Chain A
Amino acid sequence: QVQLVQSGAEVKKPGASVKVSCKASGYTFTTYAIHWVRQAPGQRLEWMGWISAGSGSTKYSQRFQDRVTFSRDTSATTAYMDLSSLRSDDTAVYYCAREEFGGAYPIDAWGQGTLVTVSS
Chain B
Amino acid sequence: ESVLTQSPGTLSLSPGERATLSCRASQSISNNYLAWYQQKPGQAPRLLIFGAASRATGIPDRFSGSGSGTDFTLTISRLEPEDFAVYYCQHYGSSRGPIFGGGTKVEIK
Q: Which of B17-25, B76-84, B100-108 contacts A (4 or more CB under 8 A)?
A: B100-108
Instruction: Name B86-107 residues within 8 Å CB distance of A.
Output: 88, 90, 92-93, 97-103
Closest Cβ of chain B: how far from A31's Cβ, in Å? 17
Q: Is A35's CB within 8 Å of the partner chain B?
A: yes
Measured between beta carbons, the chain B residues less than 8 angstroms from A107 are 35, 47, 90, 92, 98
A95, B88: Cα distance in complex, Å: 15
**A95 surroundings in chain B (CB, below 8 A):** 44-45
Check: B72 CB closer than 8 A to any chain A CB.
Answer: no
Cα distance, A98 to B88, chains bound together (Å): 17
Task: Say if the beta carbon of A111 comes within 8 Å of chain B.
Answer: yes
Looking at the complex, which one of B31, B47, B93 makes contact with A108 (CB distance below 8 Å)? B47
Interface size classification for chain B = 20 to 34
B35 pairs with A112, CB closer than 8 A: no
Given contacts A35-B98, A105-B92, A106-B90, 12 further A-B contacts (CB under 8 A): A37-B100, A44-B101, A47-B99, A47-B100, A49-B97, A50-B97, A99-B92, A103-B93, A106-B33, A106-B50, A107-B92, A108-B47
* Residues on A with beta carbons closer than 8 Å to the beta carbon of B93: 103-105
B88 & A47 in contact (Cβ 8 Å cutoff): no
Is B13 in the interface zone, CB < 8 Å from A? no
Would A104 and B44 count as touching, CB distance under 8 A? no
A residues bordering B, Cβ < 8 Å? 35, 37, 44-47, 49-50, 59, 61, 95, 97, 99, 103-113
Q: Which residue of B lies closest to A6 (CB)?
A: B44
> Which of these, A45, A61, A113, contacts B88 with CB under 8 Å?
A45
Establish whether residues B33 and A104, one from each chain, have CB atoms under 8 Å apart when the complex forms: yes
- The 10 tightest CB contacts between A and B, nearest first, are A104-B93, A110-B44, A106-B35, A106-B50, A45-B100, A44-B102, A106-B92, A47-B97, A108-B47, A47-B98
Instruction: Determine if A104 and B102 form an interchain contact, defined as CB atoms under 8 angstroms apart.
Output: no
A97 / chain B contacts, CB cutoff of 8 Å: 44
In the complex, the chain A residue whose C-beta lies closest to that of B47 is: A108
